[in-house]
Amino acid sequence: MIASVAATIRERVQYIETTPTIPAVFLPLLKLLSNSTEEVQVDEVVRLVSYDNSIAAQCLRVAGSPLFGMVQRPQSIKGAIISLGLRRVETILLTCCLGQAFPTKKWVLDPVVFWRHSLGCAMVCQRFSEKLAAADAEKAYMAGLLHDIGLMVNCLVFPKEFAVAMQRACQEEIPLDEAEQATMGFTHCDTGRALAEKWKLADDITEVIAYHHGLEQSQASQPLVALVHLGDLFCRMRGLGYGYYERHKVDLIADPAWAILLKEHRDLEGVDLVRFTFELDDAVDEIHALVSTVFGSTPVRT
Amino acid sequence: MTIAPPTAAASVVPTKSREALDPVYRQIRDLVYKVSGIYKAEDKLYLLADGCGRRMKHLGACTAREYWGHLSGQPGREGELRNLLNEVTIGETCLFRSPPQLDALRKVILPEIVGGKIMQVPKRLRIWSAGCSTGEESYTLAMNMLEESERLLKGWTVEILATDLNDHSVETAKAGIYGDYALRSTPDHFKRKYFSMVDEKRLRVCADVKKLITFSRLNLQDDSKMPIMKGMDLIFCCNVLIYFDGPSKSKVIEHFFRNLNFGGYFFLGTSESLMKLNDKFHLVHFPGAIAYWKPSLKSSQL
């Protein structure tokens, strides 16, 4: 990407700061999530959430989703933390905040489709991570949830350019990042990175956002980027993509990301990918329900 | 390989909602997957429960837990598992059973195969429907190939070999007469173009479709017959492998692998898995569909 394009992206991303709907709790929460669990106090999270009743209420609704393993909806944030664990509640809160942070109408990309993909990817990354007994399944969830944040930037600050890219992707049935590169000269990875840097997201999450379509460029956090790269592909093949047909054959095991993950987690060899696929299919309805819970009624498509 | 006639499926009435299901059915689902590779999704669990119900009635078992004993502990459990598998695969066959599989075939796989054979003369596509039962899958494939005959497959000869162990099924398949239930997923466009009316409730496949297919009796375990099935580009084998024990299954899969051309594809039923029975095939994903790919010579030499 040429320097002038990068400068334009950075300049336009400043616009996002003026978006009035970002809940006050969002950025402090992101900061909390980048700390290790031992350093985070339960009361601090409860205090943070109590500033915003609507976020707290939504968090409790989401926590009641079968996807998070709860049979009954918890009655308080503290109760949810006791049942689900601090990290999981933090990621649920993040999901809710993110849902409120961006307008849900008049997007080039249908917000419902976008959130289904993002939440789907979050779930896949988390479950994959749990199967591999990887250290931080919640980090994987967060990475999956935020990986395509650049698409929101595109919708907000490059709507015309992104509309052309989206149209090309739908018409030619090609991956969205290819269409973006061909028509805009940059992708949602570049715009997402600009936002991640502005928000001072953790380095590993920033790498995921910037390199999930360019794994070879990632440095310190390759396994996490590889996980999200696979989760993204997986969702796009199982009805949680961008809402159009991609003429695409995906050989996950032959993907370089698989080899990177395998180096870190020998357990990967034992994973039954077909069964995992069927289990994801089982979760698709829950993901749709979760998107409705977080974002209310179906937004209007432009 | 034949399963129960499609009409029997009309009597499968969902009797239990998902919430009311005894958790033991999920245990049974896992056992069925382990021995057969057939996965019953959450929203189809009631069908498994129905199948178990019919077997319980036959055996005089009063509870699902008691029936679990027949499947897991008591002598004769293998026979009972086979009976249950027969029950749960009833009525799974119809024309146009898996639209995502057909999309993958026409949008991704055919262009790839055609491109790979660009220098070949004569241009010939060979498809094997192994365990074709009463012909639904074979005719679906034939109609879709005919749809491509003026585009991708212009100037190509398409041969579909459809085999089944059961003489009666082969004869029914040859007749090509289907009622509402078998035609429930067939698009109207195809009904108008490729069928003629037999009576108010039944349609007959037209001669242009039939002449693409050769139906014959074949035992997949008859090693001496396997060489005549060589040179296939695509093999479909839906809900057939469940009838074989482990070693026979591995042998049959090895035959499929050998009989496929390099770059060819092997398809199972939509909720069926090859699990770990063959590590030469590459598991590949397409939007909404899974296939097993025999890598092309070029890619296997890389």
Residue A274: list chain B partners with CB under 8 A: 37, 39, 273-275, 283, 290
Interface check B280 vs A, CB under 8 A? no
Q: Chain A: give the shortest CA distance to residue B197, in Å.
A: 34
Distance, CA of B222 to chain centre: 20
User: Same domain for B28 and B52?
Assistant: yes
Q: Chain A: give the shortest CA distance to residue B125, in Å.
A: 20
Token pair listed for B256: 């499929």
In a domain? residue B49: yes
Q: In chain B, how many domains are there?
A: 2
For residue A276, what are the CA distances in angstroms to A71, A225, A291, B45, B180?
A: 22, 20, 22, 17, 34
Nearest Cβ partner for A278 among B271, B283, B284: B271
pLDDT at residue A135, as a whole number: 64
Domain-ending residue, one of B88, B117, B138: B88
Give me the tens of pLDDT residue by residue for chain B, a chain 302 residues long.
444 443 333 333 344 444 568 889 999 998 888 888 888 888 888 888 988 999 999 999 999 999 999 998 777 788 888 888 877 776 567 999 999 999 999 999 999 999 999 888 899 999 999 999 999 999 999 999 999 999 999 999 999 999 998 898 999 999 999 999 999 999 999 999 999 999 999 999 999 999 999 999 999 988 888 888 999 999 999 988 887 888 888 999 999 999 999 999 999 988 889 877 778 999 999 999 999 999 987 665 44
Interface check B254 vs A, CB under 8 A? no
A45 CB burial (10 A radius; 0-12, 13-18, 19+): buried
Tokens 């242009």 locate to B208
pLDDT at residue A199, as a whole number: 81
User: Same domain for B153 and B241?
Assistant: yes
| Record: contact A277-B285, CB cut-off 8 A | yes
User: Same domain for B61 and B115?
Assistant: no
Least confident of A82-91, A188-197, A253-262, B151-160: A82-91
| Record: contact B275-A272, CB cut-off 8 A | yes
Whether residue B23 is preceded by a cis peptide bond, meaning omega within 30 degrees of 0, is: no
Q: Region A186-214: what's the mean pLDDT? A: 93
Nearest Cβ partner for A253 among B33, B283, B290: B283
Interface check B21 vs A, CB under 8 A? no
Widest pairwise Cα distance in chain B: 64
Is residue B71 within 8 A of residue B81, CB to CB? The reply is yes
- Across the beta sheet with B177-179, what order do the strands follow? B177-179, B202-205, B195-197
pLDDT at residue B91, as a whole number: 57
In a domain? residue B94: no
- Distance between CA atoms of B219 and B244, rounded to whole angstroms? 12
Residue B41: list chain A partners with CB under 8 A: 278, 281-282
- Distance between CA atoms of B251 and B257, rounded to whole angstroms? 10
| Record: contact A250-B283, CB cut-off 8 A | no
Residue B43: list chain A partners with CB under 8 A: 282, 285
In a domain? residue B1: no
Residues of A with CB under 8 A from a CB of B: 173, 233-234, 236-239, 241, 245-254, 272-275, 277-278, 281-282, 285
| Record: contact A252-B288, CB cut-off 8 A | no
Q: Chain A: give the shortest CA distance to residue B258, in Å.
A: 21
Q: Chain B: give the shortest CA distance to residue A33, in Å.
A: 33
User: Same domain for B197 and B83?
Assistant: no
Q: Region A19-42: what's the mean pLDDT? A: 69
The structure's pTM equals: 0.86
User: Same domain for B180 and B245?
Assistant: yes
User: Same domain for B164 and B225?
Assistant: yes
**pLDDT over 90 (residue A25):** no
Interface check B286 vs A, CB under 8 A? yes
Residue B42: list chain A partners with CB under 8 A: 282
Write down all domains in chain A, each with its CATH number in brackets. Answer: 3-17+104-295 (1.10.3210.10), 20-101 (no CATH)
User: Same domain for B192 and B133?
Assistant: yes
Mutation pick from B113, B285, B293 vs chain A, by most beta carbons of A within 10 Å, is B285
Distance, CA of B298 to chain centre: 29
Tokens 């693409």 locate to B212
Long-range contacts of B11-14 (CB under 8 A, 24+ apart): B12/B47, B12/B50, B12/B90, B12/B91, B13/B50, B14/B46, B14/B47, B14/B50
- Distance between CA atoms of B42 and A137, rounded to whole angstroms? 24
Quote ipTM for the complex.
0.86
Mutation pick from B39, B113, B266 vs chain A, by most beta carbons of A within 10 Å, is B39
A170 CB burial (10 A radius; 0-12, 13-18, 19+): middle
Nearest residue to A181 via CA among A141, A213, A208: A213
| Record: contact A241-B287, CB cut-off 8 A | yes
pLDDT at residue A301, as a whole number: 35
Is residue A97 within 8 A of residue A64, CB to CB? The reply is no
Least confident of A36-50, A174-188, B150-164, B267-281: A36-50
- Distance between CA atoms of A195 and A198, rounded to whole angstroms? 5
**pLDDT over 60 (residue A242):** yes
What confidence tens digit (pLDDT) does each residue in A77-119 have?
A: 888 887 778 777 878 888 888 777 776 666 888 888 998 999 9
Interface check B30 vs A, CB under 8 A? no
DSSP state of B26: H
What confidence tens digit (pLDDT) does each residue in A126-173 have?
A: 988 988 876 688 889 889 999 999 998 898 889 999 999 999 999 999
Domain-ending residue, one of B31, B59, B88: B88
For residue A24, what are the CA distances in angstroms to A90, A100, A131, A252, B72?
A: 15, 11, 35, 39, 56
Helices vs. strands in chain B: H and E counts, helices first:
13, 10
The one-letter amino acid code at A209 reads I
User: Same domain for B75 and B28?
Assistant: yes
Cα within 13 Å of Cα(A183), Cβ side: 22
Residue B275: list chain A partners with CB under 8 A: 272, 274
User: Same domain for B153 and B213?
Assistant: yes
Strand partners, B265: B234, B293
Nearest Cβ partner for A239 among B41, B271, B288: B288
| Record: contact A248-B287, CB cut-off 8 A | yes
User: Same domain for B120 and B19?
Assistant: no
User: Same domain for B81 and B176?
Assistant: no
User: Same domain for B131 and B194?
Assistant: yes
DSSP assignment of chain A: --HHHHHHHHHHHGGGGG-TTS-TTHHHHHHHHTS-GGG--HHHHHHHHHT-HHHHHHHHHHHTSGGGT-SS--SSHHHHHHHH-HHHHHHHHHHHHHHHHS--SS-SS-HHHHHHHHHHHHHHHHHHHHHTT-S-HHHHHHHHHHTTHHHHHHHHH-HHHHHHHHHHHHHHT--HHHHHHHHHSS-HHHHHHHHHHHTT--HHHHHHHHHTT-GGG--TTHHHHHHHHHHHHHHHHTT-SSSS-----B-GGGSHHHHHHHHH-GGGGG--HHHHHHHHHHHHHHHHHHHHHHH-SPPPP-
Which domain does B36 fall in, by range?
A: 6-88
CATH number at residue B164: 3.40.50.150
The one-letter amino acid code at A2 reads I
In a domain? residue B93: no
In a domain? residue B196: yes
Count of CB atoms situated within 10 Å of the CB of B182: 25
- Distance between CA atoms of A13 and A19, rounded to whole angstroms? 11
Q: Region A209-231: what's the mean pLDDT? A: 95
pLDDT at residue B6, as a whole number: 37
Nearest residue to A149 via CA among A114, A198, A106: A114
| Record: contact B287-A239, CB cut-off 8 A | yes
Domain-ending residue, one of B88, B121, B154: B88
Is residue A4 within 8 A of residue A83, CB to CB? The reply is no
DSSP helix/strand/coil, B27: helix
